[in-house]
Structures are given as C-alpha cells and as structure tokens.
Amino acid sequence: MPRVVLASALSRWLPAYAAGAPREAAFDIDATDLHGLLDALFARHPNLRGYVLDEQGVVRHHVAIFVDGQAIRDKANLRQPLAASSEVYVMQALSGG
C-alpha cells in the first residue's frame, strides 16, 4: 500500500504531532492514484487540505509533492498512478530570514 510522508512543516498541523518536537508523519493509505491518496489523507486530517491544495484543488505553489523521488510536474492533474510500493513525500516550503 502506498505511503505518504508529511514533512515536519505540515505534520505540525496534526493534533498528535503539534505538541512534540517537529518530525515527519507517515501514513499507509490504500489508493491507486495520487488524487485518491490525498483525498483519503484529507478525510483523516481535514485541516491539512487548505495547506496542501488551493480552492480549485490544485497543489499550492509553495508545496512540493514527490512520488517515488520524482517531483510531480502538473500540480493540477493529480491522477498520477501509484504502485503498492510508492512513497509520496509532501513538503511545504518555508521562508524567512
């Protein structure tokens, strides 16, 4: 089953991870494509949707998603197929000075 890993900048929005030190969160989710995986993730953690997707369902500009080590190219088309062994890494860019 595919695994999704949220970088610490996103996992901090999950109640179970908010109180502790920043760390990645990983979930095994039964899905055949990226869209299904993200929908299942957001069903478990609805507050994440707004940090990852915009109002049109497109991956936000400051969010990067990698499937099996390759960045997705089309942030609007999330129908990329996943293998049972796929790893999806979701990270949010941070800025500051």
Give the tens place of pLDDT for each residue, 26-53: 999 999 999 999 999 999 999 899 999 9
pLDDT at 68 over 70: yes
Cα within 13 Å of Cα(84), Cβ side? 1
Distance CA 24, CA 11 (A): 6
The residues spanned by each domain of the chain are 3-92
Q: Are 37 and 31 in contact (CB under 8 A)?
A: yes
pLDDT value of residue 17: 67
CATH topology of domain 3-92: Ubiquitin-like (UB roll) (3.10.20)
8 Å CB contact between 71 and 44: no
The answer on pLDDT for 97 being more than 60 is no
For residue 7, give both structure tokens. 């970088």
> Model pTM?
0.89
Residues 9, 15, 36, CA angle at the centre, nearest 5°?
70
Q: Are strands 3-6 and 87-92 parallel, antiparallel or unpaired?
A: parallel
Distance CA 95, CA 97 (A): 7
| 18 neighbors 8 (Cβ within 8 angstroms) | no
